Structure 1
Amino acid sequence: MSSLSSLTKAELRKYVDTKFQAGASRFFKEEIQVLGVRSPQVKLVAAKFWPEVKKLPKDQIFTICEELWQNGFIEETFVAINWTNRLLKKLGKADFIRFTNWIDQYVNNWASCDIFCTHAVGYLVQKYPELFTELKTWTKSKNRWFRRAAAVSLIYPLHHPFFSSKSSILPIPPTLPISLLNQVFQIADSLFSDPDNLVQKGYGWMLKEASKIWPQEIFKYVFDRRDKMPRTALRYAIEKLPKDLKLKAMSKN
């Protein structure tokens, strides 16, 4: 184990709050390992060691991150994700394989799934559009976190729909590529009848983010399917729509 991962683990344990630890698991239906460190303190620990971590080669940073993932405590995984998300401009297509393995082996709760996939994983899907086919494959996985990840990984492209030639993020233009909306609909179609509540929330969230750009298109998608769409996904999807469209979407055929 590297000295940096050991130091990070020791530093986190200085901030353990036993009262917070006792109640932290109530935010999760699945069983998780919790040290009892509040989010601001987790971020402080990540920031404290980042000046040393960022000097290392990317692969070495990922080795340290994996050591933090492996222990299973959610606060340690949050530090690993924090550092990974700081490396966006250094990420390459090959890193997607590593990230897929991390989801497969270590992700076991919605928080780790979302923080990781709405940043690092989503960035790669945005930068390398051909990786969208991998998301489609994830929708058929037996692993619920892959299925949720397939949806929430599109939230990054929805927030940052264009890159310049230097891969820096550009402002959202008035007209967005319809291919991104088509990808949203493809993922929603693939997950549409998924019985898992957390997967329904995941693709509903994706549709909600898309509705900020294409409100009429998302409304039509939901309205046309309102009698068959799981209510959890439907409620998430229409949350940001105008009130009149919400009422129509909630109506029965």
Structure 2
Amino acid sequence: MQITKEIQRELEQYIDPVKREYLPNFFKTGKGQYGEGDKFLGIVVPNTRMVAKRHKDVPFEVMAELLQSEWHECRLCALLMLVERFKKCDEKGKKEIFDFYLSQTARINNWDLVDLSAPGIVGEYLKDKPRDVLYRLAGNELLWDQRIAVVSTYALIKNDDFIDILALSEHFLYTRHDLMQKAVGWMLREMGKRNKDLLVQFLEKHCKVMPRTMLRYAIEKFPEEKRKEFMKR
């Protein structure tokens, strides 16, 4: 669609050559790495978000085209459009965005794409609804589905709803992928900011088998001596 091309041209106005060189390495795009083959224009997130806000009301077909782009920032722009539109929608509109988002998870294919969109769409939508979809995503082989499941709980955690992050953390206790270890540890840490006792209880039960990366992320805000104590177990 013509509007898709126009949006990409708008994004291209914000290309930073230094970022364009730096980002592929930062997002692990080399052979065999999690972001293999991803390509970057070199645009910082605030500028991508600015373009997204201007075009948040475009049809889903345009967003789908952007999500098919080889350019990381085009995909991010589409996701940020969805997040911005979701904030203003009625329940019917939110359901449409939620369903569209879940139909596109194969293209939400790097950790920042997940982290900047899943809480504001999936997490927000599920605040007052059954959470079965989180466990379906968690059970999928696709890494990005798994990360969406975990990071979506950020919206629930901020609502003092910890049931799902506790269950999903147990589900991923033995995950070998560092992106999932970091995601779980991060969400546990966020839970701990709101309920430290609950985090400590979880760690007391599971710290011996938790991947060290997951544990380090979870205890990042603990006093140094307490961190050392948990890491030695």
TM-score by length of 2: 0.87
Give the counterpart letter for 1:201 in structure 2.
K
Shift of 1:113: 1.1
Aligned: 1:33 with 2:34: no
Change beyond 3 A, Cα 1:152–1:108: same
One of 179, 182, 200 as aligned partner of 1:198: 179
The 5 A counterparts of 1:48-197 are: 49-50=54-55, 53-54=56-57, 60=59, 62-88=60-86, 89-90=88-89, 91-103=93-105, 105-128=106-129, 130=130, 132-159=131-158, 161=159, 176=160, 180-197=161-178
Q: Is the 8 A contact 1:68 1:80 kept in 2?
A: yes
Match in the other structure for 2:189: 208
**Identical columns (%):** 26
Give the counterpart letter for 1:96 in structure 2.
F
Shift of 1:222: 1.3
Shift of 1:43: 2.8
**In structure 1, C-alpha distance between the alignment counterparts of 2:45 and 2:194, rounded to whole Å:** 30
Q: Is the 8 A contact 2:181 2:211 kept in 1?
A: yes
Shift of 1:146: 0.8
Shift of 1:9: 0.5
Match in the other structure for 2:31: none
Shift of 1:35: 1.1
**In structure 2, C-alpha distance between the alignment counterparts of 1:44 and 1:86, rounded to whole Å:** 11
Cα offsets for 1:157-178 (capped at 9, x unmatched): 212x1xxxxxxxxxxxxxx4xx
Match in the other structure for 1:4: 3
Give the counterpart letter for 1:107 in structure 2.
I
Change beyond 3 A, Cα 1:6–1:96: same
Alignment gaps of 5+ in structure 1: 162-175
Aligned residue pair count: 222
Shift of 1:190: 0.8
Match in the other structure for 1:231: 212
Q: The residue matched to 1:211 in structure 2 has which SS? A: helix
Which runs of structure 1 show a deviation greater than 4 angstroms over 4 or more consecutive aligned residues?
none
Match in the other structure for 1:42: 48
Shift of 1:244: 4.7
Q: CA RMSD in A?
A: 1.8
Aligned: 1:217 with 2:218: no
Q: Is the 8 A contact 1:215 1:241 kept in 2?
A: no
Give the counterpart letter for 2:47 in structure 1.
Q
TM-score by length of 1: 0.81
